[in-house]
Chains A and B, each alone.
Chain A
């Protein structure tokens, strides 16, 4: 019984490893927020589509830090290297039941929150009631509370960040 069980387990794992070893090299996954598909190798070209994190893309070619890809809906375009990875995001991989070590450690290495929760979290302003209560209980000085309020008021939206990168000619804006 022992021998059979160990053999079964080893066979299963070897099959898993084989799948990983022969993973399709022509696939990439969107791993960044706010990724877009462009008609040319430039952010100034037409935006073909906005891609959701975790979207699998088929690679046609790779030129000067840009992938030419085909999206699941058949749309073709270019995406900057920094926005994709050869493996799907760990949390999304575990959610979809693809298993693997990423599935086990998904909660530790990635975000376990749903997209909706993340969107609502962006509206946080000022100290939470719990943090205020903690401050009251511990006699936190007013200036530290004011400092945290100031920090939490500094929210950057997508357009601010894009403009910042564009002005500095950083990453996808370097071309």
Chain B
């Protein structure tokens, strides 16, 4: 008789609370101590892996670090190529670059100024303002960053723009997009994009992976905690550069005012956590910037680019 598959029969022993606590403590502490040393410590304490608890802890730790390695294993050029192909899709989805080359250069100068003080200052960043009625911005892996013309029009000063660009730089620095699709089949074996080509089975996996990225960045949005992390990074990078970190709060408040009438599909409204929660968290973070009021807003310069005569 056919037996239906179940992951764990009801009669199988469950992980007891005592076991969980016994494993969770050492595991958490080892994670904080550093995995490489932890594995060496395991070898010293239990070289034959006879201890059940240590064996389990080693397995769990191995799984976590292996996940990190799968993304870390992607070289920069492959990461950038993934970003390029996603950018090609982005232009089709959100529109072409605005023709104002003066504005494009301005955004690139400001974005790269903030990126110099980011967690990942050693790669080039490219910023583009696209002609779109949606309030939107997103970052492709490797550092190609999109910003909609409507979002720029809604801003009031250079600090606001700096914070938004720095928020997107934060996504690139943290490799958020790649983390979101790290289980894609393309990454099995840590393939390099340049060596596999775009044809055949691997090409198909690559296109599927780019499709997954589009779903994440254009429709579903990144994990909410990634957005909160990027908000925090954006404020920090802008502040370190010399801008008022409250610029991000002003942008979020502007978006909140537009929320009732703006198009949501494919915009920051549908791909980001609720604005009220983001504003609340950013306001709490302002405690870390006691001299924020003395930082630059550069309103006059910003307006000369936003509204050229």
Contacts and interface: CB of A to CB of B under 8 A. Distances in A.
A53 B34 contact: no
Contacts of A33: 116, 121-122
A119 B217 CA distance: 28
A105 to B, nearest CB: 7
Contacts of B72: 106-108, 112
A109 to B, nearest CB: 6
B31 A104 contact: yes
Contacts of A101: 31-32, 34
Interface of B is mostly: helix
Given A109-B174, A151-B128, A151-B144, A156 B108 contact: yes
Interface stretch (B74-82, B262-270, B278-286): B74-82
Which of B32, B85, B96, B127 has the largest number of chain A CB atoms within 10 A? B85
A168 B198 contact: no
A2 B117 contact: no
Interface stretch (A21-29, A69-77, A81-89): A81-89
B121 A32 contact: yes
Interface string B34-70: 1111000100011000010110000000000100110
A111 interface: yes
A13 interface: yes
Interface in A131-175: 131, 133-138, 140-141, 143-145, 147-148, 150-152, 154-156, 160-161, 164-165, 167-174
Interface of A: 1-2, 4-6, 8-10, 12-13, 16-17, 31-34, 53, 65, 81-83, 89-90, 99-101, 103-113, 115, 117-118, 121-122, 124, 127-131, 133-138, 140-141, 143-145, 147-148, 150-152, 154-156, 160-161, 164-165, 167-174
